[in-house]
Amino acid sequence: MMDTATELWGRAAVRKALAEAEHEPITEALTREVARRADPPGAFRAWSLAQPWPRFCAVVRLVAGVAQAELMTKEAVNE
């Protein structure tokens, strides 16, 4: 998934977005919006770049798989 994010926005943008602590919360609504807009990739990239910075960072986290990894880690700790 990280490869997809890097292809869409470039390595530097992905690193900067993932390092941002003040990203928008990842909600079910945001996840649905990302899924709805994912195809075609060029339009998705344009849409994502037009988002405010905190939301863009959340979108990058979703596409890169970071949000999923964090959720799985939290679930493992709670078991």
Dihedral, CA of residue 69, residue 52, residue 50 and residue 32, to nearest 10 = 40
pLDDT of residue 2: 79
State CA 36 to chain mean position distance: 14
Q: What is the pLDDT of residues 20-61, one digit of tens each?
A: 989 999 899 999 999 999 999 999 999 999 999 999 999 999
Q: How far apart are CA 67 and CA 78, in angstroms?
A: 17
Q: Does residue 69 come out as left (phi exceeding 0), alpha (psi in the -120 to 50 range) or beta? A: alpha
pLDDT of residue 67: 73
Please check the confidence at residue 11 and state whether its pLDDT lies above 80.
yes
Q: How far apart are the first and last CA of the chain?
A: 26
Q: pTM here? A: 0.84
